[in-house]
Chain A
Amino acid sequence: MQILKKINFRDYIVYISFAVVFLAFSILAYDKGFLKPSNLMNILRQTSMISVAAVGMTFAISAGLIDLSTGGVTAMSALTAALVLKHMDNIFLAVIAALAVGFISGMLNGLVIAKVRIPAFLVTLGTSAIFTGIARVMTNLEAVPISNNTFNNIFGSGDLGPISSLFIWTIVVTVMGHILYKKTSFGRAVLAVGGNEPAARYSGIKTQRIKMWAMVICALCAAFAGILYAGRTHGARYTLGETDSMNIIAAVVIGGTSFSGGKGTIIGAIIGSWVIGMLNNGLLLMGLSVSEQMIARGIVIIIAVSLSLREAKND
Chain B
Amino acid sequence: MLNNQPYALEIVDVRKSFFQNPVLLGVSFGLRRGEILGLLGANGAGKSTLMKIVNGVYKMDSGSIRINGQEVRIRDSADARGNGIAMVYQEFSLIPTMTVVQNLFLAREHKKMGLIDEKKCRQEALEIFEKLGIQIDPDAVVGDLSIGNQQLVEIAKAMMQDPSVLILDEPTASLTHAEIALLFDFVDRLRKSGIAIILITHHMQEIMDVCDRAVILREGKVEMDAQVKDVTIRDMVEAMVGRSVSAEKLPPAQPINYQEAPLLQVCGLSCLPKVQDVSFQVYPREVVGIAGLLGSGRTELLKTIYGLLHADGGNVQLDGTILPARRDPAWSIDHGICFVPENRRTHGIVPIHSVCRNMLLSVWKHYRKGGLLDDRKATADTTDMIEKLAVRCTGPEQLLQNLSGGNQQKVVFGKSIFTNPRVLLLDDPTVGIDVDAKNQVAAVIRGIADEGSAVVLVSSEIEYLEKVCDRVLILRDGRIAKELRSGVDDLSETAIIDAMQS
Contacts and interface: CB of A to CB of B under 8 A. Distances in A.
Contacts, number: 65
B427 to A, nearest CB: 22
Nearest to A315: B143
Interface string B132-149: 000000000100100000
Given A188-B102, A189-B107, A199 B114 contact: no
A7 B141 CA distance: 10
Interface string B102-117: 1000111101001110
B95 A199 contact: yes
B246 interface: no
A199 B92 contact: yes
Nearest to A62: B97
Given A188-B106, A196-B96, A199-B94, A179 B115 contact: yes
B116 A188 contact: yes
B109 A188 contact: yes
Interface string A262-289: 1100000000000000000000000000
B62 interface: no
Interface residues of A, number: 23
A196 B96 CA distance: 7
Contacts of B232: none
Contact of A258 (B94, B95, B97, B102): B97
Interface residues of B, number: 22
Pick from A188, A198, A204, A258 the residue with the most CB of B within 10 Å.
A188
B184 to A, nearest CB: 25
A194 B109 CA distance: 18
A262 B93 contact: no
A14 B109 CA distance: 30
Nearest to A263: B97
B126 interface: no
A191 B116 contact: no
A198 B95 CA distance: 9
B98 interface: yes
Contacts of B29: none
A203 B106 contact: yes
A191 B97 contact: yes
Contact of A205 (B106, B114, B116, B118): B106
Pick from A179, A185, A263 the residue with the most CB of B within 10 Å.
A185
B93 A191 contact: no
A185 B111 contact: yes
15 contacts: A184-B114, A185-B109, A188-B98, A188-B102, A188-B109, A188-B116, A189-B106, A196-B94, A196-B97, A199-B92, A199-B93, A202-B92, A202-B93, A203-B106, A204-B108
Interface of B: 77-78, 89, 92-98, 102, 106-109, 111, 114-116, 118, 141, 144
Interface of A: 3, 7, 179, 183-185, 188-189, 191-192, 194-196, 198-200, 202-205, 258, 262-263
Given A179-B115, A199-B92, 20 more contacts: A3-B144, A183-B116, A184-B115, A184-B116, A188-B106, A191-B95, A191-B97, A191-B98, A191-B102, A195-B95, A195-B96, A195-B97, A196-B92, A196-B95, A196-B96, A199-B95, A205-B107, A258-B97, A262-B96, A262-B97
